[in-house]
């Protein structure tokens, strides 16, 4: 649980991940009497020994490229490296970010 907590407080760790699984869930929240759609962005890392770890969780307004870019950029700043494969849906935002900040990752 300790490493799980670190991903939320922004502490830098060494996260060597062969695979990243990117997920998102949509939900609605009420803000100032308005109902807004939101998304939860989740990154799960799997290392070369098969160990799975939550690398990050973020609530955003959508799964647009700008939010994935911020989310994955922050994960890299906190020590995520070695990624060879991203497993996700074919969302254009994820594809654009992968090409921009993770060139060479399939």
CA distance 38 to 85: 26
Rg of the chain taking only CA atoms, in angstroms:
14
What's the pTM value of the predicted model, to 2 decimals? 0.76
Q: What is the pLDDT of residue 12?
A: 56
The domain spans of the chain are 2-101
Q: What is the pLDDT of residue 66?
A: 92
Question: pLDDT (tens digit, 9 = 90+) per residue, 24-49?
Answer: 788 888 888 888 888 888 888 888 88
Q: What is the pLDDT of residue 1?
A: 36
């Amino acid at each position: 649980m300790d490493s799980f907590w670190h991903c939320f407080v922004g502490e830098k760790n060494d996260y060597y991940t062969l695979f990243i699984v990117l997920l998102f869930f949509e939900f609605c929240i009420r803000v100032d009497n308005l109902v807004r759609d939101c998304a939860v962005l989740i990154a799960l890392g799997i290392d070369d020994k098969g160990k799975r770890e939550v690398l990050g969780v973020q609530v955003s307004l959508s799964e647009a490229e700008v939010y994935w870019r911020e989310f994955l950029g922050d994960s890299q700043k906190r020590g995520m490296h070695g990624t060879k494969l991203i497993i996700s849906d074919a969302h254009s935002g994820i594809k654009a970010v992968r090409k921009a900040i993770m060139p060479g990752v399939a």
